[in-house]
Amino acid sequence: MKIVLLGAPGAGKGTQAVRLAEKYSVPHISTGDIFRSNIKGGTPIGLVAKSYIDKGQLVPDEVTVQIVKERLEQDDCKNGYLLDGFPRTVAQAKALDEFSEVEKVVNIDVPLSKLMRRITGRRVCSKCGESYHVDYLNGSLSCGKCEGELIQRADDNEETVSSRLDVYTAQTAPLVEYYGEKGVLVNVDGDGNIEDVFNSITAQLG
């Protein structure tokens, strides 16, 4: 199955993506993760990406589209994929239409007013990438899955999140209508616990 996960920053895309990729046996492709690993490795792409990500802006479409195109050409994507964080602009969605036919677009809907708290309280495992929220960690600093160290992402501070939310509203939210018109959109209420959101996604995807 070829799936796109849509939603604001902090809506829970990454959390659900890991679980959905496992259930449907498709690779989980997160543009945010790809950029972060390039930043860590000090590659030319990482250098470009960092200058935008630090400001809460989008990495230019040309760069992002090329990365995704090359990734989808790999063998493991033959039977499907789960895109997390791409497309994020109408231009990216149109570019994607040129090289792949998306079957389902899952829009995880969370009230904008809840997102700031979700993101600034987010801690991620530096080893396996699992996400947590300080409200449920009881002070723990290590991952419940792999015991890796939990860290706060550099772009999860209030100022950067505020621009990311503005960028979402202006550039990404229009994709809901874009995919709605194509008839591939699945809307899910993301304002619940991880298990409930997962179940409502899979109930609708079949």
Say how far apart CA 126 and CA 72 lie, in whole Å: 25
**Residue 128 contacts Zn ion per CB under 5 A:** yes
Say how far apart CA 136 and CA 196 lie, in whole Å: 17
- Residue 52 binds which one of Zn ion, ligand ADP, none, with CB within 5 to 8 A depending on kind? ligand ADP
Concatenate the DSSP letters of all residues of 42-82 into one string. Answer: T-HHHHHHHHHHTTTPPPPHHHHHHHHHHHHTSGGGTT-EE
**Residue 12 contacts ligand ADP per CB under 6 A:** no
CB of 32 to ligand ADP, least distance (A): 2
Q: Which is nearer to ligand ADP, 93 or 143 (CB)?
A: 93
Among 19, 55, 117, 127, binds Zn ion (CB under 5 A): 127
- Active-site residue among 2, 118, 122, 123? 122
Active site residue 19: no
Choices 28-36, 69-77, 100-108, 132-140 (CB under 6 A): range interacting with ligand ADP: 28-36
Among 20, 29, 53, 188, binds ligand ADP (CB under 6 A): 53
Residue numbers annotated as active site: 13, 88, 122, 153, 164
